[in-house]
Amino acid sequence: MTPTGIWLSAIGTLAIFSFLYKDNPLYRATEQILVGLSVGYLIVMTFQSTLIPRVVEPVQNLEAWGFVSAIWVLLMWTRLSAKYNYISRWPLAIIVGAGAGLSIPAMLKARIITQLGATIRPDITIDVIIGAVGVISTLSYFYFTRPQTGPFRVASKLGTLYLMVFFGATFGYTIMSRLSLLIGRTEFLLGSWLGIL
């Protein structure tokens, strides 16, 4: 990173950290710059990596698929017209239809069928038993179409315990994750910027 980059990065980091003391204009300005930069970068990247090679260049080369893509892109812009905005639903319908058609079988296989197969296995070990009991009891907690009484209530309460363990583990990992970010920025400030490390 160049010295200018290091200084800009350090000032940005300190400006964001200044919120920990109290809200201030420098923090808000830096936050807005960050949002603006992220969105601007995304637009430029999308334009360069997708629109130019997939729409602009094929149209310039008079390729049929380029014109098809360009027409659907232009139809999306009818959303800005009060009179013709219904036309923008046609390309959206294709996106939703194709998206659902592609994702439903893939999700069913990966998220449900394979995971279910891994939960109920023929090799009975303590891990498998703990996992299977956890799945059944947690599902029973989310089963709301009958009153949670008797054995069903016991299973539901056990499901709550499993959920608490999951939330605790996730929260622990979240703290670890956020601290790693703080460590990274502190190392940058002390090392790359101040040269202490």
Please tell me whether residue 24 binds another protein under the rule CB under 8 A.
no
- Applying the rule CB under 8 A, the residues between 59 and 98 that interact with another protein are none
Q: Which of 155, 176, 173, 177 is nearest to 165 (CA)?
A: 173
Q: Fill in the DSSP letter of residue 122.
A: S
Measured between alpha carbons, how far is residue 87 from residues 81, 98, 187, 193 in Å? 10, 18, 53, 54
Helices 3-17 and 25-46 pack at an angle, to 10 degrees, of 120
Of 69-77, 141-149, 156-164, 177-185, the segment contacting another protein by CB under 8 A is 177-185
Radius of gyration of the chain (CA): 27
Question: Between 143 and 166, whose beta carbon lies closer to another protein?
Answer: 166
Could you tell me the two tokens for 178? 């956020």
Of 70-78, 79-87, 115-123, 140-148, the segment contacting another protein by CB under 8 A is 115-123
In the complex, least distance from residue 84 CB atom to another protein, rounded to whole angstroms? 25
Chain positions contacting another protein, by CB under 8 A? 20-21, 38, 41-42, 45-46, 49-50, 53, 57, 99, 102-103, 106-107, 109-111, 114-115, 117-118, 131, 166, 169-170, 173-188, 190, 196-197
